[in-house]
Amino acid sequence: MRPGAETRRFGRTASLLSAGVGAAGVLTYLFFALASHNLNATEYGEIVVLWSAVFVTISVAYRPVEQLLSRTLADRIARGEDIRPAIRTAARIQFTVAVVLAVLILALKEPLQDGLLSGSETLYWVLFASVVSFGASFFARGYLGGTRRFTLLAALLVSESAARMVFALALALGIAEGQTAVALGVAAAPMVSLMLIPALVLMQGERRHEGDGEHTRPVSLAAGGGFAGAVLVIMVGEQVFLNAGPLLVRAFEDAAAAGFIFNVLMVARAPVLIFQGVSASLLPHLTRMRARGGEAAFRNSISATLSAVAGFAAVTLIVVLVAGPALMQIAFGDRFEYDRAGLAIMAVGMGFYLAATTLSQAALARGAAASAARSWALAAAAFLGWCLLPLIEDEARRIEVGFAAGALLLALLLAQVYRQAAGAGILPDSPDEIEAQLAAMDEGA
């Protein structure tokens, strides 16, 4: 295939992946909206705590192997090498990680069930099943991304979010009852999506990338080096900003309070979930411009995206100031009373956070992954430190202020990285680019 045709094909499939990520984000939002409307405050808060615990765990534990697999497969396919050893090695590593997590969760049953999950044995086993089964899901994401099967990857993400949302919809329609129905959706989602993979592969047609088996290089978690580690740090930082709040509130108060702060964070999370569709395609776009020497176009793309973010944040701020509390109750039910000032703080923080996400992608495209990771680590640590200091008595307000201030700090740090970054950057269609694109879609996924 000619280079131009290959680039156009890659662009089309990357756009499809972006659309899939955006759709997955919308379905995730609907899952929580339906759950909040149809559960009481405590039950909903316990679902939020379950979700946060699951996604913090799987993002940190399984992301390195996903990166290892996607990067290694892309690299070996480009070199014409056999990909089967890489698949076997990554599978063994991912299986080992899943077993270790399963043993730890079983060993910590009492503190997890009684301390974190309000004594619910059902939620504990959902936590166990979810964490273990997501190992296979992340492995599939790495395989599909590394072999550039972006159509299948988009289908995987959408089917996973749709399967989860169906459980909350069943509760809303009266087909199912109680908290258990919603909780089961968290565990069932990765299982349902993985069941579709064989059929989707047959529909698309199998591709063989076996190579000649000569000069096969060993595979280890060291593959990808500093870039993989930097992206992992960025992912941990994202989890801190978007999921640590409910867990911190649960530690100091009750599950209902955790549900409340999760809904308030949705002022930031919902746009972030949808923006992941843009983010997933932004890195390839910037990388190609950078490689082609289009520095002016590169800067214009960043400026245009930041301007759009600022405009969206301004509109959101106006809306929440005028009708924020009422709109939140329409979206999530009247279980909670929402504070207009708190929603306004979150709207401002959302603008800074989306700006920071844009600048982070720009830093990756400029080859400044390590500097971007340091910025995320510093801002996430500052956010956690603020939340643990009792400078503001109200837990929710402390997290709201901390999120906005942390997002501002992150945006300023990444703006400095963006201005200072130089060098060759990430090559188009390289393992680095595919790996970073997969990282960009994580939250929406």
The structural domains of the chain, with segments of one domain joined by +, span 3-214+223-440
The structure tokens listed for 34 are: 């339906």
pLDDT of residue 291: 58
Task: Report angle CA 162, 207, 217 to the nearest 5 degrees.
Answer: 105
**Cα separation, 257 vs 265, whole angstroms:** 12
Q: Is this model's pTM higher than 0.95 or not?
A: no
pLDDT of residue 50: 93
pLDDT of residue 399: 92
Q: What is the maximum alpha-carbon separation in the chain?
A: 66
Cα dihedral 227, 410, 277, 160 sign: positive
Give percent helix, percent strand, percent coil of the chain, each to the nearest 5: 85, 0, 15
pLDDT averaged per 10 residues in sequence order, the chain, 445 residues: 47 63 82 91 91 88 80 76 84 91 95 90 95 90 80 84 92 89 91 70 50 52 61 84 86 84 82 64 60 69 86 90 90 85 92 91 79 94 91 88 95 91 60 60 50
* Single-letter amino acid code for the residue at 202: L
pLDDT of residue 6: 46
Backbone angles phi, psi at 205, to 5 degrees: 100, 135
**Cα separation, 68 vs 384, whole angstroms:** 29
The structure tokens listed for 196 are: 């579709």
pLDDT of residue 434: 61
Distances (CA, A) of 114 to 123, 247, 253, 405: 10, 14, 14, 33
pLDDT of residue 3: 44
pLDDT of residue 7: 46
- Matching residue, tokens 């993985």: 194
Torsion of CA 344, 347, 349, 352, to 10 degrees: -140
Distances (CA, A) of 177 to 20, 75, 168, 180, 259: 30, 49, 10, 8, 19
pLDDT of residue 176: 86
pLDDT of residue 258: 87
